[in-house]
Amino acid sequence: MNPFTRPAFFFRGRNVRLRNRRYLTLGKGIQVGDGVAIDAFGRSGVSLGDHVSIGRDAMIAATGVISEPGEHVRVGAWTAIGAFNVIWGQGGVTIGTHCLLGPYVVIVSENHSIDDSIVPIRDQGHVRAPVVIGDNCWIGAGAKILMGVTIGDGAIIGAGAVVTKDVASMSVVGGVPARLISQRQGGETP
């Protein structure tokens, strides 16, 4: 059964592409913009909580290469995934509730191995590590979140930041690589 025909789904844009639908779990009130692509194939697939919105031309995939299944992409309730986002769940991506992801955000949970300078990079394999984003986070436009990173509740990631290390709850970070800019009221000093 096409999950988008269920009453729980109330808005779907044009040219939405779904692959491996049997691995897709949807909450109520999902909104999907034009040109969105979701490939749910993975050990635990793709799960979208209630009232998740996905902006136009975003791409979500639980696996990059079919021969090596990825883990999952889980998105909590009331989270907004911005236009042109790329979320790859090979190592697992979990995004909390009430999060805002600006346009062009990239979240990757896998990287290439590069230890051997003689062997082509594509033949050296890869490493995977989960990405976890807490509740009520704001990820600014064009930010990149790399594998193995945990972002605490209430954190803000500045536009264009490249996050390579964990971010404490209620922190504001920015830059390349991302560094602490300030602490939000109610947050603990790292």
Active-site residue set: 112
Contacts of 56 (CB under 8 A, 6+ apart): 13, 33, 34, 35, 36, 83, 84
